[in-house]
Each structure stands twice: as C-alpha cells, then as structure tokens.
Amino acid sequence: MQEGDARKAMCTGTSKLVIIAACGLILPGCNRMGLCTEDHIEVIESPTSRYQAEIVNKDCVGTSPVQEVLLRRTQGLMSGRTAVAVFDASNADKPVKLTVKWHDERHLVITARGARVWSFQPNWHDVRIMER
C-alpha cells in the first residue's frame, strides 16, 4: 500500500467514526435506525403539567454512553423533545447521579454528581435551566 492510499484509508475510517458519533449525539433519527438504545429513567412534570423533563440513559453505536435530560411540551404543536443537558456516563465505577426538579413552572434545576457535562443548554423556549 502506498503512502497516499494509507492516508486515504485512515481519513475514510476517521470520517465514518465522526459520522457515527454525530449521529449518536445529535440526530434523533439514529434511534429510528436502530443505532441507539434508550432506557427511560424518570419523567418529571412541571407544576402545571405544561412541560415534562425526562432522564434517559442512551447508548449509541460508536459513542460513549450518556445520560440526557430531555424537555418537551405536553401540549401543542411543539411537543417534540429536546436534549437540554448531556452527561458522560462511560465510567461504570462512578455512575452518574442526576436529580431534576422544577423550581417553578419556568425554572428547572439539574444536579449532576459523578459526570462530565458534554452539553448544556441554559434556555429552552421560556424555560430557564440551572445546573448545580
């Protein structure tokens, strides 16, 4: 194999890994393709039940396992769920301990112990999210 061929093969392999990782963390369609498994841990409704926060363990092909906090509206057109916090759950010796509580209808508090934050979104529509 020539040097140029080796670089091309390495680049192609790296590109596939990046695509798989992006699929697992970003695109919800990966769940539909069977590349991810989800374990739904807990659903926490806001005080007036307008919103739901959900804690989900997610494991996708080619990525490290994560624990996500998803938000969604319970009514209306915009009821799709959105990941507002993603935590690294790859250390089996030190499992992630997440607590999610509504302070009031528009303020959500996430407490995470034993995990690195991969992604955090402090605002979602009219909900403010705090991490402690």
Answer for the pair 131, 117: CB distance below 8 angstroms, yes or no.
yes
Query: What length does the chain have?
Result: 132
Question: What's the alpha-carbon Rg for the chain, to the nearest Å?
Answer: 18
Number of H helices, E strands in the chain: 2, 9
pLDDT digits (tens, 9 = 90+) for 49-94: 999 999 999 999 988 899 999 999 998 766 688 999 999 988 888 8
pLDDT of residue 80: 80
Identify whether the C-beta of residue 78 lies closer than 8 Å to the C-beta of residue 50.
no
Output the 3-class SS for 62-126: CCCCEEEEEEEECCCCCCCCEEEEEEECCCCCCCCEEEEEEEECCEEEEEEECCCEEEECCEECC
Supply the pLDDT for residue 33.
59
Instruction: Give residue-wise pLDDT tens across range 108-128.
Output: 999 988 778 999 999 999 999
pLDDT at 27 exceeding the cut of 50: no
Q: Cβ of 32: how many Cβ atoms within 10 Å?
A: 9
Mean pLDDT, all residues of the chain: 81
DSSP state of 114: S
The confidence score (pLDDT) of residue 30 equals 57
Given a cut of 60, whether residue 4 has pLDDT beyond it is no
CB-CB contact of 71 with 121 (8 Å): no
